[in-house]
Structure 1
Amino acid sequence: MNTPVRPRNDRMLSIGQLRDAILADEIDTVVLGFTDMQGRLQGKLLHGRFFLDSVLEHGTEGCNYLLAVDVEMNTVDGYDISSWDSGYGDMMFELDLATIRRLPYRPGTALIQCDLTLLDGTPVRVSPRAMLRAQVERAASLGYSAIAGTELEFVVFDTSYEDAWDSGYRDLTPANRYNVDYSILGSSRVEPLLREIRNMMYGAGMTVESAKGECNFGQHEIAFKYDQVIATADNHSVYKTAAKDIAQQRGKSITFMAKPNEREGNSCHIHMSLRGQGDELVFWKDGARTAVYDHFIAGVLATMREFTLFYAPNINSYKRFAKGSFAPTAVAWGLDNRTCSVRLVGHGPSARMENRLPGGDVNPYLALTAMLAGGLYGIEHELALEPETAGNAYESGAPTVPTTMREARDALAASAIAREVFGEDVVRHYLNYADVELAAFESAVTDWELRRGFERL
């Protein structure tokens, strides 16, 4: 804890700056957060003076069931890490002091993101941040670093979260009543909220690029500049939590569900490229793609079906995959082709691949882990890149991504590559995650069933 750590940029805080702000009573609350399996920022809110006196040097802990629950925080069976038999012990929050940031929308509050370890200091391998860190280390061993950006869409409603809950999420009022894709007028209708999110995230240390309207009613996107993959995942997790919090303060609600209704779903397109350890270009040379780039693309495509559970982690995720929806169905690549799951864009320093498979509900650590792991597998095995798909990939006859969570779960279960690159323990953990969700969904009685069957069957 005493080793100086440089903050990621000059809008984030060093530990010395945080200490000074606490002692000056400018900051009174320190949030320690980590991202769980479901992609949620979880953790503790500590009094600032207690943080300095007791936690900064000695750390703190939380129950290991936090990586072994469902989305409703129910304890469930089947996880090696945590159970009634093992007594639901603790895991340690290891502070990443490069991540200290103010949360401007919460007065007097700073956030530090954490890794998770067992009590003996061993990393919790199934935690999403540890999984991504393992792939970053694997890339470094091959001489590469990975940079990425996530483009996250959401739908805004002029209905509070409490009112939405009370209404059973029916008859919500969207912030726009028609398609506002790229519409300045449509964005202006929601600009007070969008502007606050942009400015608050800039104050929290993120580099904000732009906001734009999207196709679904009330749907928008705020884009952020690319960064190293762990920093991008950290920022994504903070932004997603903050956007909901800021909307709630304004009596509105935001959803990042992949498919919140029968119209266009929320995507999370992920752009990724590799650089050398000295930031030199890896994907582009002499005016063309390199062999390394082609191997990387081939690896992402070769593992896409097997790793889909990490790109589409919820039952609802699979409702988004539909022909003609700008959400991909074909495991195919193309040059600036939005009908493909992998779209190549840019040239020279901007050369990168866009993975269009994930939705707005994605856990960024898991998706970046899967994408980087697949690409590195392609490099290590020098996989040949299949021919480009030109035209409409929906009608190309290319293999398709899984259309249900069960199909994705079974593809991961059968994957030798997943066991090679992630480890048996990680694969087993996330298969159980899928089994829990599938069992919950298959036992639920839905509105669709009631409407069709209550009287007529």
Structure 2
Amino acid sequence: MIVQQIKEYINVHPASKVKLAACDIDGVLRGKYISAEKFNTVADKGLGFCDVVFGWDSSDLAYDNARFTGWHTGYPDMQLQLDGNTFRKIPWENELPFLLGDFVDEEGNAAPVCPRQLLRKVIGKCHEMGFKPFFAQEFEWFNFSETPDSLYQKSFQGLKPLTPGMFGYSILRSSLKNEFSSDLFLLLRAFDVPLEGLHTETGPGVYEAAIAYTHALEAADRAVLFKTAVKEIGYKHGIIATFMAKWNESLPGCSGHVHQSLWDGETKRNLFYEDGDSQKMSTLMKRYIAGQLYCLPHVLPMYAPNVNSYKRLVEGAWAPTTRTWGVDNRTVALRVLSEGEKSARLETRVVGSDTNPYLAMAACLASGLYGIKHGLTLNQPATVGNGYRDESNGTLPANLYESTQQMKHSEIAKELFGEAFVDHFCCTREWEWKQFAKAVTDWELKRYFEII
């Protein structure tokens, strides 16, 4: 929809306002309402937005180690350019108009710390190589019969799950809470975030949703909006949704698997499929996989960005721990689904539901393109059976600090994403680790308080 059409809609909407947002480094949407009059003046040129959104963490604590912005810069405004292609109407806010934006620098160039701009950059390189990337993300998340107030009143302890018991693929549980699940399907579709499927997963109150595939940038937009939309729709039903990678040590973690394929824009042919190959995999797909395997330790914080992310990446919990690939194997890092000419794709299973979709998809695509660009050969055989036992190509780093240090000093990461982004992103991950390291946990109190 062109800008003029958007203006016309906004100017006649009874609320006389528009909601806009941009994604911070943690994948959290930061936004505001502006009046219809204000929108008319900023729709083409953009508006100022405090750059503190890249100067603090998810709890609004200001970084003390970041160079991009901070007390030393005075937290000035950045320019936020609204993307008319992201225009949507929010069905649970009386069809209120909504847009996403991209951050640019003083010269109007893409801001190196902006996650959406980073993905745009990688997609641009993909197009230059003659490929059109199609992506989709699926999410698992836990739902609780709680409110923001009750979470804090209970100190996040003793929370009531939406439904009891371990009941994956349950027809009963989805019928029990049908108003919520029906709203998810209908309202998300009305919000231009269409789902291919929705079902319960194993665990109390767990759902899994697969978002319909589309071009990579739109796929990331859908994924970011999905997470916020689920939370907002949940509020309507007295439900709190969490996309933490692992909220309880005794329960499975939550994945955010990314499905991806490269297509020929002219012939509209899936370039990952090869009928003559024994595994139906093209040479291009094999190089793409080889690139992801090779780059995985250099970009892991983009797949597992939080301290909690690594609690999910443990053996026997439906998340990978090794640098492995396999055909339709759910115990490996990279799962190949290559039987269908239209559906042939790679599923990167390292990605958790707590990720920033722009960064996760940028890492997937950039790593795969690295393998194609450098002609990497997929010499590593496919893992058959238990991928947790296949350590022939190495294991994943055990925590956020280890993975961040590897990325921070990686020339490959800087080649893929630029030094400015790597520097800022790694500073934010070091900060995250620092906050965790100084915290005194319940585990420590129970283990040491009386005995030591």
Same fold? TM cut 0.5: yes
In 2, Cα distance between equivalents of 1:265 and 1:281: 32
Quote the Cα distance in structure 1 between the aligned partners of 2:121 and 2:9. Answer: 34
CA deviation map 1:324-354 (0-9, x unaligned): 1111111100000001010001331211000
Aligned partner (choices 299, 302, 321) of residue 313 of structure 2: 321
Deviation at 1:26, TM superposition (A): 4.2
Structure 2 residue aligned with 1:114: 101
Corresponding residue SS for 2:297: coil
Contact kept? 1:150, 1:236, Cα under 8 Å: yes
Residue number in structure 1 paired with 2:326: 334
Give the conservation status (yes or no) of the 8 Å contact 2:10–2:18.
no
Partners of 1:21 and 1:65 lie apart in 2 by: 31
CA contact (8 A) 1:26 1:108 kept: no
**Which position in structure 2 is the counterpart of 1:425?**
420
Aligned partner of 1:388 in structure 2 is 382
Q: Mean Cα displacement is larger for which, 311-320 or 244-253?
A: 244-253
1:273 aligned counterpart, secondary structure: strand
Q: Counterpart amino acid of 2:230?
A: A
Report how far residue 126 of structure 1 moved: 1.5
Q: 1:65-80 to 2 correspondence within 5 Å?
A: 65-80=52-67
Contact 1:15 1:100 in 2 (8 A): no
- The answer on whether the counterparts of 1:28 and 1:109 sit within 8 Å (CA) in structure 2 is no
The answer to whether structure 1 residue 267 and structure 2 residue 262 are counterparts is no
CA distance in 1, matches of 2:360, 2:114: 13
Query: Which residue of 26, 29, 34 corresponds with 1:46?
Result: 34
Letter in 2 for 1:428: D
Residue aligned with 2:192, SS? coil
- For residues 66 and 138 of structure 1, the distance between their equivalents in structure 2, rounded to whole angstroms, comes to 27
- If the length of structure 1 is used for normalisation, what is the TM-score? 0.94
Partner of 2:304: 312
2:275 to 266, 271, 286: 286
- Name the aligned partner's letter for residue 367 of structure 1: A
Q: 2: distance between equivalents of 1:191 and 1:259?
A: 25
User: Residue 61 of structure 1: SS of its match in structure 2?
Assistant: strand
Where does residue 34 of structure 1 map in the other structure?
22
**Cα RMSD (Å) of the superposition?**
1.4
The unaligned stretches of length 5 or more in structure 2 are none
Does the 8 A contact of 1:90 with 1:118 survive in 2?
A: no
Using the alignment, how far apart are the partners of 1:348 and 1:108 within structure 2? 38
Shift of 1:359: 1.0
The alignment's TM-score, normalised by the length of structure 2, stands at: 0.95
**Which shifted more, 219-228 or 81-90?**
81-90
Contact 2:63–2:428 (Cα < 8 Å) also in 1: no
Whichever residue aligns with residue 426 of structure 2, its letter is: L
Deviating more after overlay: 359-368 vs 216-225: 216-225
Unaligned runs of 5+ in 1: 1-6, 8-13
* Alignment match, 2:431: 436
Within 5 Å, which residues of 2 pair with 1:41-440? 41-52=29-40, 54-262=41-249, 263-278=251-266, 279-287=268-276, 288-346=280-338, 347-385=340-378, 386-398=380-392, 399-440=394-435
Q: Quick one: percent identity of the two aligned structures? A: 34
For 2:44, what is the secondary structure of its paired residue? helix
- Could you say what secondary structure the match of 1:327 adopts? coil
Amino acid at match of 2:436: F
Write the distance in 2 (CA, Å) between the matches of 1:397 and 1:322.
Answer: 14
Q: More deviation in 240-249 or 352-361? A: 240-249
Task: State how many pairs are aligned.
Answer: 444
* Superposed CA offset, 1:49-72 (max 9, x none): 3322x2223421111121121111
Distance 1:99 1:243 in 2: 18
The residue type equivalent to 1:307 in the other structure is V
Please give the alpha-carbon distance, in whole angstroms, between the structure 2 residues aligned to 1:221 and 1:250: 18
Deviations 1:428-454 (A, max 9, x none): 111101110111100111111112222
